[in-house]
Amino acid sequence: MKRFYFQKIKWCALFAVLIFASALIVSSQVVFAADSPKYVFLFIGDGMGLPQKMAAEKYIGKKLVMNSLSAHGVTTTNAADRFITGSAAAATAIATGMKTNIGFIGMDSNQKPLKSIAQIAKEKGMKAGIVTSVSIDHATPAAFYANVPSRSQYYDIAVALAKSGFDYFGGGGMKDPANKRENSLNFQGDALELAKKNGYRVVTKKQEFLALKPSKEKILAYNEWLQDGGALSYALDMREQDISLAEFTAKGIELLDNPKGFFMMVEGGKIDWACHANDGAASIHDTLAFDEAVKHAYDFYKAHPKKTLIVVTGDHETGGMALGFAGTRYESNFKVLNNQSVSFQRFGDEILAEFKKKESNKVFDAIKPLITKYFGLKFDGGTQDSMVLQSYEIDRLKSAFERSMAGDTEEKSYDPEVYLLYGGYDPLSITLTHILNQKAGMAWTSYKHTAVPIATSAAGLQAEAFNGYYDNTDIALKIMSIMGSGDKPVYEKQSQNQTAMVQGR
Amino acid sequence: MKRFYFQKIKWCALFAVLIFASALIVSSQVVFAADSPKYVFLFIGDGMGLPQKMAAEKYIGKKLVMNSLSAHGVTTTNAADRFITGSAAAATAIATGMKTNIGFIGMDSNQKPLKSIAQIAKEKGMKAGIVTSVSIDHATPAAFYANVPSRSQYYDIAVALAKSGFDYFGGGGMKDPANKRENSLNFQGDALELAKKNGYRVVTKKQEFLALKPSKEKILAYNEWLQDGGALSYALDMREQDISLAEFTAKGIELLDNPKGFFMMVEGGKIDWACHANDGAASIHDTLAFDEAVKHAYDFYKAHPKKTLIVVTGDHETGGMALGFAGTRYESNFKVLNNQSVSFQRFGDEILAEFKKKESNKVFDAIKPLITKYFGLKFDGGTQDSMVLQSYEIDRLKSAFERSMAGDTEEKSYDPEVYLLYGGYDPLSITLTHILNQKAGMAWTSYKHTAVPIATSAAGLQAEAFNGYYDNTDIALKIMSIMGSGDKPVYEKQSQNQTAMVQGR
């Protein structure tokens, strides 16, 4: 009898396991299973709302990788003290699960330091990597390894980086490693030297970078040539010898992979900068470059489907980009954006700067060939050709050209009406992108961020948790919970969302 | 031995069933369970994208009911032949699951008639109701009961309504029941009379409406006073004696409830009209009125949680509304919108029309008190008071006033620059809402629709199916599938989304 009983239980157990497994397969995926992902990716498109994603999708005529993930949510973004958030407060929310004030990095509203997902990953024995297309000490990346009350403390942030112990930093450079601008009272020597002393190998040459192999060395890599503010080029301006955001991401995966897994944050930071400047083509190309980075993680996920979680979000929308313009009514023609071959930044920094050197160029006629060459806008031609400028558009360009040649910038444009036109940017460059965007059927309302919710998507282990309507702080809390740090939440979540929404100006 | 074997199997089976059941409970809810909902609600906010929802949420300082539902998705909206959709093509997609051309109602691109969810519900023996805040023959409601190649065939649509056999129509009136404007060759007598002959009781008085009780009678109810184009008032202009969208919805639930269940579509149609006119306060109040209608369905769902499905979507975004304006940079102040006490429509139709009657009113000074009274904008006062107009704002109002007094409308404003300013609306009214919106930190890019994806939410039975990133056609296909019409899909879904996206201009 005893033997029979034992056999019966054995049979039953086998049968039950089979039934249990098939039930799980038949039903939808299990939310919050016991297993934690070994590989966690968090992608943040800075300034990337739904308009930015849809513009890029329309431009290439096929679905973005980030829009193809299995889970999708709508995410509110407000800061603790303002309805329209900033990158520091938003990144702190996404990195730590806590609402904070504008400008704060890794600290709550009372300046209490907070622990980020990346730091939690390190504590769990995972490796951690931070990648961005802007400077590596910029607000978004900084919120994952630094704790300072002002995002402008670039030296202090660089020191925090050097002391972070994170395994991989890739993308843009440092803005103030020598404490020349910040004049921090807590000077600890050159931050780059400190990083080296702490075991970081600094790599800037593309060949050397591409040849990197996994080792015990920590890596701090940035592209040799940096375009503006210590950042990578706009994707539209990228040259063969530059390391792209996708390459920094792919190398990160290669270097970080290890038996204990890793957490990697990748920021598409120049989407935001392009949108501040209302440059639609630059925004689209940087969104596509960001999506290419996502694709590397997605391919990795397909190879490790049961061990990987990918979350793709934005920190806020920038520019009030809309896929419709009064002048073009119901029509769109995104193909005209193909005519733009340089970003507003490169046009101003290189082409216009060179042009201004010649005294005889002070007349509007002189700039016309360059406008046609770099933006495709024509001064003559039939009415059939949508690239031929209308007389009122030429008037706008003429006024902008005159202001550009006079060297007007934000400092000089206190006149609110002038600010509405140019937002403190080079007047000619921004008028060119405005006009070209409008011909595409795309328009803008601001040179700053806006408060419309953004979209989050996710794939992989427990990705279903990212379906729904939730706050940006929930992104961190969900990831922490999924990573197994959620049993006793690191930070008790206050009823932040509602409070902040009411309080936020 | 045999007996033991039998017992063993019995034990195993019981054990297995228990395990199976607990697996189902432990795992997330099963998508597409066998049960179909008895009550199906489809809410369509016309012109309601994420900005419209967030603006309303920010204005009242608490979460909208539609944002509190359990499931959320991102929905693409393009028409078969245009990137920026129109209400007819979008409503046909949402009602039938098929992409179609601009202007088509309940027909595919080849003008083949399509069956709507409401018609399928009727075939299944359920009751069907259609509610809208605009005219009952307008594009969105029409796509649920009519099949015509042009949304302007208002008489033909009215005849289709009279013949639909649907149980309840509520909201706005008919635009052309007597075939006076359309001159349809298929004249079948006055459509309202035809409806009565087909068993509809026509109700327009609020008292009579509120007293209606469930019966075998079919009901065609519209508010006695209609503001513009056969529509209900803007919520901002609504008077005590008017029937609200929420009241039409609540009465619909009461009248339609029956043992075989019902399908009800409710459209918030004037959100779109407010946004075409760039009237932020009117958009917010109509979005809130729409959310109040959703609340009635949500309360009903809470009473019948296992029998109800609610889906809330939009057909497209209108106006390129952004929650950020260049002039106010990072600041928002939605409280200033409290100062607007009438919609642009009522201001133009009633206040300005009365004002214009007096010859001495032709000077700008004469309109100032009315501007202050109805929009809160002041011509004198300290710089602290954000409601005091800046000199360049006063200049904009003066120019607009002069054009308004000269009777300029769309027909006269062929000048593209003038169109950018006023969009064919009364110049003074739209300049007033533009300026007030901008003070709130809200701005617009168009007087038409835009192509940014909208957000869909859902609650109730199988609501999980509405998580994700999907096309507007998928909304119909998901509902049909959930209603149990999905075993052999009514229409084979082509790879419409991708095709249309690439083809769409």
Q: In chain A, which residue's Cα lies nearest the Cα of B79?
A: A330
Contact of A129 with A169, CB cutoff 8 Å? yes
Suggest the residue from B18, B74, B315 to mutate for an interface test with chain A (most A CBs closer than 10 A). Answer: B74
Query: Do the Cβ atoms of B331 and A420 come within 8 Å?
Result: no
Taking contacts as CB-CB distances below 8 angstroms, the residues of chain A near B82 are 330-332
Q: How far apart are CA A438 and CA A432, in angstroms?
A: 10
The one-letter amino acid at B239: R
Q: In chain B, which residue's Cα lies nearest the Cα of A332?
A: B505
The Cα-based distances of B284 to B236, B265, B343, B479 in angstroms read 9, 21, 11, 28
Q: How far is B4 from chain A (nearest CA, A)?
A: 9
Query: Do the Cβ atoms of A30 and B31 come within 8 Å?
Result: no
Query: Do the Cβ atoms of A447 and B326 come within 8 Å?
Result: yes
User: Quick check: helix, strand or coil at residue A101?
Assistant: coil
Q: Given B50, B326, B501, which is nearest A420 (Cβ)?
A: B326
Q: How far is A116 from chain B (nearest CA, A)?
A: 26
* Strands A454-460 and A71-76, bridge-based pairing: antiparallel
Taking contacts as CB-CB distances below 8 angstroms, the residues of chain B near A451 are 54, 58, 323-324, 332
Q: How far apart are CA B477 and CA B474, in angstroms?
A: 5
Query: Do the Cβ atoms of B332 and A83 come within 8 Å?
Result: yes
Query: Do the Cβ atoms of B390 and A416 come within 8 Å?
Result: yes
Q: Given B323, B329, B467, which is nearest A72 (Cβ)?
A: B467
Which of B458, B396, B466 is CA-nearest to residue B431?
A: B396
Could you tell me how many helices (H) and strands (E) chain A has, helices first?
Answer: 19, 12
Q: How far apart are CA A5 and CA B90, in angstroms?
A: 64
Query: Do the Cβ atoms of B323 and A451 come within 8 Å?
Result: yes
Measured between alpha carbons, how far apart are the two ends of chain A, in Å?
Answer: 76
pLDDT of residue B487: 43
Which of B184, B104, B110 is CA-nearest to residue B147?
A: B104
Suggest the residue from A469, A495, A497, A501 to mutate for an interface test with chain B (most B CBs closer than 10 A). Answer: A469
Q: How far apart are CA A30 and CA B31, in angstroms?
A: 12
Taking contacts as CB-CB distances below 8 angstroms, the residues of chain A near B325 are 320, 445-446
Q: Given A324, A420, A501, which is nearest B84 (Cβ)?
A: A324
State phi, psi for B268 to the nearest 5 degrees. Answer: -95, 85
* Strands A127-132 and B308-314, bridge-based pairing: unpaired
Which tokens is A386 given?
């949508």
Query: Do the Cβ atoms of A54 and B30 come within 8 Å?
Result: no
Q: How far apart are CA A254 and CA A256, in angstroms?
A: 6
The one-letter amino acid at B139: A
Query: Do the Cβ atoms of B74 and A72 come within 8 Å?
Result: yes
Edge-to-edge strand list for the sheet holding A468-471 = A200-203, A218-222, A168-171, A127-132, A262-268, A39-45, A308-314, A454-460, A71-76, A468-471
* Strands A218-222 and A317-318, bridge-based pairing: unpaired
Q: How far apart are CA B99 and CA B95, in angstroms?
A: 10
Taking contacts as CB-CB distances below 8 angstroms, the residues of chain B near A317 are 322, 324
Q: How far is B61 from chain A (nearest CA, A)?
A: 5
Q: How many CB atoms lie within 10 A of CB A226?
A: 20
CATH superfamily of domain region B37-320+448-504: Alkaline Phosphatase, subunit A (3.40.720.10)
Q: What is the DSSP string of B433-471?
A: HHHHHHHHT-B-S-SSEE---EEEEEEETTGGGG-EEEE
Suggest the residue from A25, A26, A283, A323 to mutate for an interface test with chain B (most B CBs closer than 10 A). Answer: A323
Instruction: Tell me which residues of chain A have a pLDDT lower than 70.
Output: 1-34, 408-413, 485-505
Q: In chain B, which residue's Cα lies nearest the Cα of A458?
A: B468
Which of A110, A113, A104 is CA-nearest to residue A79?
A: A104
Distance of CA A481 to the CA centre of its chain: 23
Instruction: Tell me which residues of chain B have a pLDDT lower than 50.
Output: 1-2, 4, 6, 17, 19-33, 486-505
Q: How far is A257 from chain B (nearest CA, A)?
A: 30
Which of B454, B447, B477 is CA-nearest to residue B465?
A: B477
Query: Do the Cβ atoms of A323 and B450 come within 8 Å?
Result: yes
pLDDT tens per residue across span A185-194: 999 999 999 9
Query: Do the Cβ atoms of B443 and A445 come within 8 Å?
Result: yes
Taking contacts as CB-CB distances below 8 angstroms, the residues of chain A near B63 are 498
* Strands B200-203 and B308-314, bridge-based pairing: unpaired
Query: Do the Cβ atoms of A16 and B16 come within 8 Å?
Result: yes
ipTM: 0.90
Query: Do the Cβ atoms of A501 and B83 come within 8 Å?
Result: no
Query: Do the Cβ atoms of B332 and A63 come within 8 Å?
Result: no
Residue B39 exposure: Cα atoms within 13 Å on the Cβ side: 24
Query: Do the Cβ atoms of B392 and A325 come within 8 Å?
Result: no
Which tokens is A436 given?
């070209």
Q: How far is A320 from chain B (nearest CA, A)?
A: 5
Q: Given B16, B443, B464, which is nearest A446 (Cβ)?
A: B443
Distance of CA B290 to the CA centre of its chain: 8
Q: Given A317, A390, A501, which is nearest B61 (Cβ)?
A: A501
Query: Do the Cβ atoms of B326 and A27 come within 8 Å?
Result: no
Q: How far apart are CA A92 and CA A105, in angstroms?
A: 6
Q: How far apart are CA B445 and CA B278, in angstroms?
A: 9
Contact of A349 with A340, CB cutoff 8 Å? no
Q: Given A54, A58, A502, which is nearest B61 (Cβ)?
A: A502
Taking contacts as CB-CB distances below 8 angstroms, the residues of chain B near A76 are 54
Q: What is the DSSP string of A108-147?
A: -TT--B---HHHHHHHTT-EEEEEESS-TTSHHHHTTT--
HEC letters along A149-199? CCCCCHHHHHHHHHHHCCCEEEECCCCCCCCCCCCCCCCCCCHHHHHHHCC
Contact of A472 with B298, CB cutoff 8 Å? no
Look-up of token digits 């806008």: A377
Query: Do the Cβ atoms of B50 and A453 come within 8 Å?
Result: yes
User: What is the helix (H) or strand (E) element at residue B54, kind and residue range?
Assistant: helix B50-60
Q: How far is A362 from chain B (nearest CA, A)?
A: 28
Query: Do the Cβ atoms of B445 and A448 come within 8 Å?
Result: no
Q: Given B69, B76, B324, which is nearest A451 (Cβ)?
A: B324
Q: How far is B354 from chain A (nearest CA, A)?
A: 30
Q: Measured on CA atoms in the order B105, B110, B111, B113, is the torsion positive or negative?
A: negative
Q: How far is A15 from chain B (nearest CA, A)?
A: 7
Q: How far is A40 from chain B (nearest CA, A)?
A: 21
Which letter, b or e, does each residue of A160-173 get, where b requires 16 or more Cβ atoms within 10 Å of its Cβ?
bbbebebbbbbbbb
Which letter, b or e, does each residue of A86-110 get, where b requires 16 or more Cβ atoms within 10 Å of its Cβ?
bbbbbbbbbbbbbbbbbbbbbbbbe
Taking contacts as CB-CB distances below 8 angstroms, the residues of chain A near B446 are 322, 324-326, 329, 443
Which tokens is B107 given?
């027909």
State phi, psi for B2 to the nearest 5 degrees. Answer: -60, -45
Q: Given B11, B54, B84, which is nearest A330 (Cβ)?
A: B84
Q: How far is B473 from chain A (nearest CA, A)?
A: 16
Q: How far is B350 from chain A (nearest CA, A)?
A: 27
Which of A210, A232, A227 is CA-nearest to residue A219?
A: A210
Query: Do the Cβ atoms of A464 and B28 come within 8 Å?
Result: yes
The domain spans of chain B are 37-320+448-504, 326-440
